[in-house]
Amino acid sequence: MARRVLITGARSVAALELARDFSAAGWEVYLADSAAARMARCSTLPVRLHRHPAPRQQGGAFRQWVRALVEEYCIELVVPTCEEVFHLAAPSLHAWLGDRLMAPSLETLRTLHDKLCFARHCQKAGLPVPESQPIESADQLATYRTTCHERVFKPRFSRFGDRALIAPKAARFAQLRLDPAQPWMAQAYIHGEEACFYAVAHHGQLTAFSAYCSRWRMAGGASYAFEPLDASRHAKLRTLAIQLAASARLHGQFACDAIFDVNERPFLLECNPRATSGVHLLGGAGHLARAMGDGIPAPDTPPTIRYLGPAMWLLGLPTALRHARLARWWRCLRAGRDAVSSPGDRWVLVGALADAAGFALNGLLHQHSTNAATTHDLEWNGEELP
């Protein structure tokens, strides 16, 4: 009988990428989500799609659903892709799933997801991070008005590149308000070039790694085209990923935003302990399935540019025309490959557009952004879970 994997967060392109990879490795793939996940439903992949209760609003029902499905189908591995990872790592469910869950404990996830805790962990582990402090009082906040140093101010729990560089005299500075339920932090601003990496660790050992940059981003900061880094920067970030995996004894997926200063020194900015777009530079041939399921290192082969086709056309083309970057946009399109659709699996584009429309409508109905709508039913902001 084929080995069976449950990939959650089926709304994401990363889940589709992983489904293709596990299928290529001979696994029987089950996809699940609390949203409609029309993109996955439109795929020609031989997968089974299930819908579960919303982890954030129906936590108890979600945990019961996971137990029942894992037992019914004898699932060997559970691979989260979105913020449902935190709900899967709730202490009671994590203890039951054990090594079947491709994620560390909730305590470790908190350390990585909380941007200030992550910076402090890196400092203790000897990993390079910008100077970081919590914003704990109005007096402390006021001191930043008089300093000559630039700072990045950001919520300790946030997503989609949701951070703002605020100069000491900027008008936006006055808009900052302290809220104990949504703590903020200040971080020294480093001038340089941003980069990202995605990695898989198997019981503390790095088994897969990709590093990339992007010149094509949405208004909120999220990228939709992913260009592999040069060999030197790739090697520097890979060394940091190895050290981070070992220091936190990671078992699962993790990804970091980083920046290279003017002297080419890398600094880690924040961490997403889940799948990110870097998965597209590694997936498709079964290497990720073996890296996750068996701890077999994925080969370090030179990847090609990948992009999200619908976003590249709907967002990238207007941006290119507006900023006279049409030649650059065309080169990226010609040199890269679409991460959403693949030969023989083109209907996923229709599903992806339907999903995007659904999240946009949900955002309008609940008076929040489309980005917020994509995580409203599964996000986690540090609250205790049973």
Stretch 75-86: mean pLDDT, rounded? Answer: 97
Question: pLDDT > 70: what percent of the chain?
Answer: 91
Q: Which residue do the tokens 């990804």 mark?
A: 255
C-alpha distances (whole Å) from 102 to each of 253, 273, 285, 330 are 7, 11, 19, 38
Helix (H, G, I), strand (E, B) or coil at 302: coil
Helix (H, G, I), strand (E, B) or coil at 163: coil
Cβ(228)–Cβ(212) below 8 Å = yes
Stretch 92-115: mean pLDDT, rounded? Answer: 96
Stretch 40-69: mean pLDDT, rounded? Answer: 96
Handedness of CA 103, 380, 306, 258 (dihedral sign): negative
Cβ(95)–Cβ(67) below 8 Å = no
**CA separation for the pair 375, 370 (Å, rounded):** 9
Nearby residues of 60 by Cβ (< 8 Å), 6 or more positions away:
386
Which of 52-66, 81-95, 253-267, 341-355 has the lowest average pLDDT? 341-355
What global pTM score does this model have? 0.93
By DSSP bridging, strand 184-188 and strand 151-155 are: antiparallel
Per DSSP, helices labelled H in the chain are 13-24, 38-42, 59-73, 84-88, 91-97, 106-113, 115-125, 138-143, 231-247, 287-293, 309-311, 317-322, 326-335, 348-366, 370-375
CA angle (18, 241, 296) in 5-degree steps: 50
How many Cα atoms within 13 Å fall on the side-chain side of residue 120? Answer: 13
Phi and psi at residue 94, in whole multiples of 5°? -60, -40
Cβ(8)–Cβ(15) below 8 Å = yes
Stretch 73-94: mean pLDDT, rounded? Answer: 97
User: What's the N-to-C CA distance of the chain in angstroms?
Assistant: 34
- Structure tokens, 86: 């935190």
pLDDT at 356: 85
CA angle (123, 127, 132) in 5-degree steps: 45
pLDDT at 194: 94
Per residue in 166-187, pLDDT (tens digit) is 544 455 556 666 676 678 888 9
Secondary-structure percent of the chain, ordered helix, strand, coil, rounded to 5: 40, 20, 40
**CA separation for the pair 376, 118 (Å, rounded):** 23
Stretch 196-220: mean pLDDT, rounded? Answer: 92
Q: Which residue do the tokens 């100069």 mark?
A: 167
pLDDT at 176: 65
Phi and psi at residue 115, in whole multiples of 5°? -65, -35
Which of 99-108, 235-244, 336-345, 368-377 has the lowest average pLDDT? 368-377
Which of 127-131, 177-181, 300-304 has the lowest average pLDDT? 177-181
Which of 31-45, 128-142, 309-323 has the lowest average pLDDT? 128-142
Residue 10 has pLDDT above 70, yes or no: yes
**CA separation for the pair 259, 165 (Å, rounded):** 14
Q: Which of 236, 170, 161, 249 is nearest to 202 (CA)?
A: 249
Q: Which of 307, 121, 140 is nearest to 223 (CA)?
A: 307
Higher-pLDDT residue of 371, 195: 195
Cβ(367)–Cβ(381) below 8 Å = no
